[in-house]
Amino acid sequence: MRHIIFKYFFIFSVLLVSSFMLSVYMPGDALDYILMREEKTSISSTHYEHQKTLLAQRLGYDKPLFYFSVKSLAEYGWQQYFPSTQQQKSYNHLLRNYGCGSEVSTFYKKINAARTAIATSFTTATDTSIKHTAALAANCLYQIETQVNLRKNDSILHSFNTYAATLKLTALANSILHSYNEMQTNKSSWKKWVPVIQFNAQNRFHDWFFGTHKNNGIIHLNLGQSLYTGRSIGSLLKEKIFWSLLLTILAILIAFISGIFISMWLTYTRSKLASRIINIITVIFYSLPVYFAGTALLYFFSNPDFLQIFPSSGVMPIGGFSSDVSLTEKFLGTLPYLILPLICYTYSLWAFVQRTSASLISAEIKKPYALMAQAKGLTKKEVVIRHIFPNIIAPFVALLANMFPAVIGGSVIIESLFSIPGMGLELIHATTTRNYPFISAVILITGLITMLLYLLNEWIQHFIDPRTKTVQS
């Protein structure tokens, strides 16, 4: 029991960290999407970087990622957040190469003060030449902030002093030059070669999992917000997960029951013709791509020019059901919409179950206990049902946990083909719009359900298979 708890605790921890890292390192910047949605701010706005910094502080994006991080001694304790990736890279480069965190931090603070003063000069100036000089001075500051080649900083600072004198910001330029000289004087480049482990009590993973005083975390079932609509991902998943789970569970049940039943029937009837027909059907079903099967079903059974037996999309009539419709009428009205998607969910899964169960039964029926049962006078049907069927259940319970993520993966294509408002269709929309928190939440939920199925599998195996029980001394 102890090793099972340890194993699933380890899997759960890896799943959590992977889901978090996936949402962090996906392409793009979540803060950009949030700013454009909430603040209606353009990236080209003069105050964009300042607003992005304030938003990062409000959401905790300026904190370290995890509880500990490996840094050089030069960077230890002096990490800062910058809205620009290039600025962040340049600041870290200065820390590593100069090794004097206090002086580097002061240098960057004075650059930010100078940028604010130059922006004020640019907006208040009426002379075109002054505006042009302010733009050149701002460009110098940008080059200093994003410059990785430290040898160019001397020439850039010299140009900035010239422009600052024109803008009457000589004192500010001299303070920047003084800070730069202080960095040169107190340079301790040897610190970049000394690794240290930095512990971070306040970090983004802690806020994501446990929450903050403002927002709840994953442990409180808060999966975050959509980057585009700002809507809670939890409420969005509540609407979408029902149809995906319904079709998935129905497909697995139909495939298991019918696949095992047909294999048992073929074994005790010993019909060669039926066996050949079923073998051909399973090979076709197992090799048929789901997008081809779905398109063919729509063409043959939802086409006004051929046969329009079933609806082509959705899960209910376009206008929905009226409030006075009974539950039975809703079920009967929804059923035709689910037939074709359910066929797409089930056919390849059924082929896999049928072939696997046929192989297991054919192997079991040759074993001594089955031969002994037949020798005692039991019919082949009785042997299959009473003796072989209980022995093949344990391997199929193990297969159940493996099938769930495969069926969920196929739902992405099926739900988009039939316009089913489930997780698969929403996942496609989230991928095209780079709504990474939703993608991360789907991966986390799918992983948790799969992990619970594996745990349930081990628990069931313990009771249905005596060989797995631990002998108590």
User: What tokens does 432 get?
Assistant: 């095209």
Whether residue 37 lies inside any domain: the answer is no
pLDDT at 472: 43
H helix intervals, 125-216: 128-146, 153-166, 170-185, 204-210
The share of the chain scoring above pLDDT 70, in percent, equals 94
Taking Cα atoms as reference points, which of 154, 168, 81 lies closest to residue 121? 168
Segment 355-406, tens digit of pLDDT: 888 888 888 888 888 888 888 888 888 888 888 888 887 777 777 777 777 7
Q: Residue 198: left if φ>0, alpha if ψ -120 to 50, beta else—which one?
A: beta
Last residue in a domain, options 199, 224, 245: 199
The number of domains in the chain is 2
Longest dimension (CA), the chain: 109
Q: Which pLDDT band, with edges at 50, 70 and 90, does 236 fall under?
A: confident
* 55 Cβ contact partners less than 8 Å away, ≥ 6 residues apart: 31, 34, 35, 39, 61
DSSP 472: P
Whether residue 410 lies inside any domain: the answer is yes
Q: Which pLDDT band, with edges at 50, 70 and 90, does 109 fall under?
A: confident
Residues 75 and 173 in one domain: yes
Whether residue 227 lies inside any domain: the answer is no
Q: What is the dihedral of CA 79, 80, 83, 89, to 10 degrees?
A: -40
Rounded CA-CA distance 260/266 in Å is 10
| Residues 8-46: b if buried by 16+ CB within 10 A, e if exposed | eeebeeebbeebbeebbeeeeebbbbbbeeeeebeeeee
Output 13 or 5, whichever has higher pLDDT. 13
Residues 191 and 275 in one domain: no
Residues 140 and 190 in one domain: yes
Q: Residue 325: left if φ>0, alpha if ψ -120 to 50, beta else—which one?
A: beta
Q: Which pLDDT band, with edges at 50, 70 and 90, does 471 fall under?
A: very low
Is residue 205 within 8 A of residue 65, CB to CB? The reply is: yes
The share of the chain scoring above pLDDT 90, in percent, equals 4
Q: What Cα–Cα distance (Å) separates residue 319 from each residue in 25, 56, 315, 322?
A: 41, 43, 11, 8
Whether residue 205 lies inside any domain: the answer is no
Cα R_g (the chain), whole angstroms: 33
Range of the domain at 452: 233-468
pLDDT at 40: 62
Residues 163 and 286 in one domain: no
Whether residue 26 lies inside any domain: the answer is no
Residues 168 and 273 in one domain: no
Last residue in a domain, options 177, 199, 221: 199
Q: Residue 179 phi/psi, 5° resolution?
A: -65, -35
Whether residue 382 lies inside any domain: the answer is yes
Segment 46-59, tens digit of pLDDT: 577 778 888 888 88
* Region 95-120 average pLDDT: 86
Residues 112 and 252 in one domain: no
* 142 Cβ contact partners less than 8 Å away, ≥ 6 residues apart: none
Rounded CA-CA distance 246/346 in Å is 12
Residues 119 and 256 in one domain: no
* 182 Cβ contact partners less than 8 Å away, ≥ 6 residues apart: 100, 103, 106, 107
* 449 Cβ contact partners less than 8 Å away, ≥ 6 residues apart: 404
Residues 74 and 188 in one domain: yes
* Region 404-417 average pLDDT: 80
Taking Cα atoms as reference points, which of 433, 434, 427, 448 lies closest to residue 237? 427
Residues 308 and 401 in one domain: yes
* Region 193-213 average pLDDT: 88
Output 410 or 262, whichever has higher pLDDT. 262
Residues 116 and 194 in one domain: yes
Residues 282 and 330 in one domain: yes
Is residue 95 within 8 A of residue 71, CB to CB? The reply is: no
Is residue 437 within 8 A of residue 445, CB to CB? The reply is: no
User: What tokens does 151 get?
Assistant: 């040898």
Q: Which pLDDT band, with edges at 50, 70 and 90, does 280 fall under?
A: very high
Whether residue 4 lies inside any domain: the answer is no
Q: What Cα–Cα distance (Å) separates residue 191 from each residue in 99, 107, 150, 200, 235?
A: 6, 19, 17, 20, 49
Q: In this structure, how many other beta carbons lie within 10 angstroms of the beta carbon of residue 354?
A: 24
Whether residue 178 lies inside any domain: the answer is yes
DSSP 365: T
* Region 340-351 average pLDDT: 90
Q: Which pLDDT band, with edges at 50, 70 and 90, does 343 fall under?
A: very high
Tell me the CATH number at 442: 1.10.3720.10
Residues 281 and 406 in one domain: yes
